[in-house]
A and B are shown apart, each in its own frame.
Chain A
């Protein structure tokens, strides 16, 4: 299995690469992206914390689906990954 087969996805519009079987969190970390979103209440930056799918801090919105853990989701070609909106759930 060569590294030639790479997977390409976007994070907030920017193109990112991953090896097949790599999680979104790992792929983003490899490209130096550690801040995945802003927290809802205080707007603080959040990224990967527990790394094993329990803390739900690394949530991103994948192809429109919110609350998706980056550390548990394998990167796939063409995935559209976005920072989970801080305002999710806030009523105007």
Chain B
């Protein structure tokens, strides 16, 4: 096995940091860790990027729908996320279908327009250069938008990425720096070693690690329970729909200040429509819900009327992590030293903030606890336990 350190009496593969989960969180963490020279192994039960990381709509969004819910931690995520995706863009940009032509958050009614004006102040404080556009200005910038909208905020810092490609780019870079990434490697049990470290049992055998990162997304609750440090994290089913290629008419990400909507035209010319609409879970397993598809389509067509003539081709579901407070679970567990977590759940703009959180976590792991951590303590995995 590449990178294995086999001692005479131990037949267990040993590594420094073992990451559980092969989505964006795990692969980005692996990339930063390996680049810092930390011995890193990642195990993924299926294939890389198959869950939320690969099934979301690829929105890079920083604008706020609720400007009154901004916390210092959230502000840090926005600033950090912005910088992080900028540098990712420089390194991988075209290869991951990235286009950062800005985002438009629309308002239909005068009340909603008022909300737009209220929120840009907060956004500017966070380093976003949002401005409210209406009428002719808005039409010139985005002619595909309906002409009877009250207005929209334009945030040049937003954009879109191809979620099918981003995780793979990090994984390749991680491997290039020496990380061992294993697919088809499901974790079944976790043993805590008294003297420190863990034995993680997988489908292909046990692995010994000094430190573990729980980056299992919607399944992080299951993994956490295996280690004896449960967290109230479940998985929820959302859906996205996609059209066939259409003539290029829209370059910005489109959202709605009062409704759940993301709408974008990808580099391939297809439109992706989402925003967090719910899937369905009948007996056979998750599948798109027709009611969601229809409602999401209605909203999208209301905002971009030309979409009516587009050909709807596909829809799919993705399972996203859910925490009660909609905040990330990130950092080391005080209940179990050496056990780290990195999950961005629904409500936390997961795709947008994850690479930044991964960099913070990797930095903490590489420093071994020296020099303090930039990870906001409100993300602590212990925040629900009695003594957390």
Contacts and interface: CB of A to CB of B under 8 A. Distances in A.
Q: Establish whether A and B are touching in the complex (CB under 8 Å).
A: yes
10 contacts: A65-B309, A66-B246, A67-B244, A88-B245, A88-B246, A88-B269, A89-B246, A89-B248, A89-B268, A91-B269
A5 interface: no
A89 B270 CA distance: 7
Interface string B264-299: 000111100000000000000000000000000000
Given A66-B247, A67-B244, A90 B269 contact: yes
Interface of A (DSSP majority class):
loop
A33 interface: no
Contacts of B309: 65
A40 B267 CA distance: 14
A55 interface: no
Contacts of A50: none
Interface pairs A-B: 10 shortest CB-CB = A89-B269, A89-B245, A67-B311, A91-B267, A88-B245, A67-B244, A65-B309, A88-B247, A89-B268, A91-B248
A89 B245 CA distance: 5
A54 B269 CA distance: 21
A29 interface: no
SS class of chain B's interface: helix, strand, loop or mixed?
loop
Interface in A63-92: 65-67, 85, 88-91
Given A67-B244, A85-B247, A88-B246, 4 more contacts: A88-B245, A89-B269, A89-B270, A90-B269
Interface centre among A85, A88, A90, A91 (most CB of B within 10 A): A91
Interface in A16-60: 40
Nearest to B268: A89
A33 to B, nearest CB: 23
A21 B341 CA distance: 65
A49 B74 CA distance: 54
Interface string B236-257: 0000000011111000000000
Contacts of A91: 99, 248, 267, 269
Nearest to B244: A67
Contacts of A67: 244, 311
Contacts of A88: 245-247, 269
B5 to A, nearest CB: 47
A40 B270 CA distance: 14
Nearest to B310: A67
Interface string B150-163: 00000000000000
